[in-house]
Amino acid sequence: MSAAIETPGFIASAVRTDAPPAIVLDKVNKWFGALHVLRDVDLQVAAGERVVVCGPSGSGKSTMIRCINRLETHQEGHILVDGIELSDDVRALGAIRREVGMVFQSFNLFPHLSVLENCTLAPIWVRKMPKKDAEELAMEYLTRVKIPEQAKKYPGQLSGGQQQRVAIARALCMKPKIMLFDEPTSALDPEMIKEVLDTMVMLAGTGMTMIVVTHEMGFARTVADRVVFMDRGEVVEVGTPTQVFNDPKTDRLKLFLSQIL
């Protein structure tokens, strides 16, 4: 499962202890109807920190990160993003959406827009950037994710790995402070996983604050400052990749590791 990435050496930690935390979850609870999907979730992510979240299917990983940019709402507890508490305040929501980029398992590109237009849409309409500047910025990020030659194509003409790199470039065009990734490689064929992981390793090297839901242990060991293991809506263990993967404390984590290794 984790063989796809060649460890390019240790990526130096970019954790900033001088800055306030980028993300705070304080006793967060969420229900879908009667289903209790987040149970007293506490988590602090420092500015510049890279956190990998793993856990069995249905354990609440997607719901947790979707609550961070308010694609879902929590019912109890507090979530702060860059010091702003998530609430129904529309202005606060707008500020947070601009600061937080998200990449999904299924890419979610606009199929009727070219790669370039996918990347310039939000900068033009949300950031009010002149079209020419937005295009320059988009080309810069498409170059960073190594697909500038695909700019004029449509998503359907690209491989899955290329589409996911467009999704990453598109998110970066909004100049987010925080990037959330929800299983970005799990819909990809094995030969395309590496190119997407390499892009994320590159991003980690820029000091970006990142939360990445993934079971790619090679990636986690290369870039994660901490790994969070969730099960049944709870944060069960948190530690360095070595602590979590080599020295699990709970039976739940031991069982999970035995299933994915």
Which residues of the shown chain bind ligand ADP in the complex (CB under 6 A)?
Answer: 32, 35, 37, 55, 57-63
Residues 60-79, mask of contacts with Mg ion (x by CB under 5 A)? --x-----------------
57 contact, one of Mg ion, ligand ADP, none, CB 5-8 Å limit per kind: ligand ADP
**Residue closer to ligand ADP, measured from CB, 194 or 215:** 215
Choice between 15 and 71, CB closer to ligand ADP: 71
Q: From the list Mg ion, ligand ADP, none, which binds 32 (C-beta under 5 to 8 Å, kind-based)?
A: ligand ADP
Question: Which residue is it, tokens 């979730």?
Answer: 41
What's the min distance (Å) between Cβ of 61 and ligand ADP? 3
Residue 225's closest CA among 16, 3, 6?
16
CB of 118 to ligand ADP, least distance (A): 25
AA identity, residue 207:
G
User: CB under 5 to 8 A by kind: which of Mg ion, ligand ADP, none does 63 bind?
Assistant: ligand ADP
CB atoms within 10 A of CB 18: 6
Torsion angle, alpha carbons of 132, 133, 134, 139, to 10:
90
Structure-token pair, residue 253 = 């984590």
Alpha-carbon span 70 to 139, nearest angstrom: 29
Which among ligand ADP, Mg ion, none contacts residue 258 (Cβ within 5 to 8 A by kind)? none
CB under 8 Å, gap of 24 or more: what pairs does 92-97 form? 96/69, 96/70, 97/69, 97/70, 97/126
Residues that bind Mg ion (CB under 5 A): 62
